[in-house]
Amino acid sequence: MSDYYREPEAVLPLFASARRTDPPTSHKAAKRAPVAGHRRLVLEALAAGPAGQTEIARRVGITVAAVSKRLPEMRRAGFIERTGREVAGGECEYRAANIRGDE
């Protein structure tokens, strides 16, 4: 096979830490994503009361996908918790966690 069809080896180390199938633009976009802003918006939405991910997205005007991506992160960090109930469409209902310990 000629060199025309092979990837130049000098390019390969640039992407050693990323998945080979991810384009460089995906990594740049991920670094610019408004993660903290979305977390703040989710908490603002839950201040109005418990809700599922679709309702959270509607309350604050971000996509359901953005909310769906942040919910597991926020649960692991202890910012939100599941109520144990389901809302329309079979979604789990979430509420802001009582971080201060008052109840």
Give the tens place of pLDDT for each residue, 56-80.
999 999 999 999 999 999 999 999 9
Integer Cα distance of 15 and 65 in angstroms: 27
> Alpha-carbon distance 10 to 25, whole Å?
19
In a domain, 102, yes or no: no
CATH of the domain at 80: 1.10.10.10
Residue 63 within any structural domain of the chain? yes
Domain membership of residue 79 (yes or no) is yes
The β-bridge partners of 87 are 91
Does residue 87 sit within a domain? yes
pLDDT value at position 88? 82
What is the extent of the structural domain holding 62? 3-96
Mean pLDDT of the chain: 76
Quick one: average pLDDT of 17-29? Answer: 60
Q: Helix (H, G, I), strand (E, B), or coil: what is residue 46?
A: helix
What does the alpha-carbon distance between residue 54 and residue 22 come to, in Å, rounded to a whole number?
Answer: 28
Q: Evaluate whether residue 32 is within a structural domain.
A: yes
In a domain, 52, yes or no: yes
Mind listing the pLDDT tens digit for each residue in 33-59?
566 788 889 999 999 999 999 999 999
pLDDT of residue 36: 72
pTM for the full predicted model: 0.62
Number of domains in the chain: 1
36: amino acid identity, one letter: A
The reply to whether 75 falls in a domain is yes
* Cβ-contact 50, 80 below 8 angstroms: no
What gap in Å lies between CA 69 and CA 37, rounded to an integer? 13
* Domain assignment of residue 101, yes or no: no
Q: Which of 49, 39, 33, 35 is nearest to 75 (CA)?
A: 39
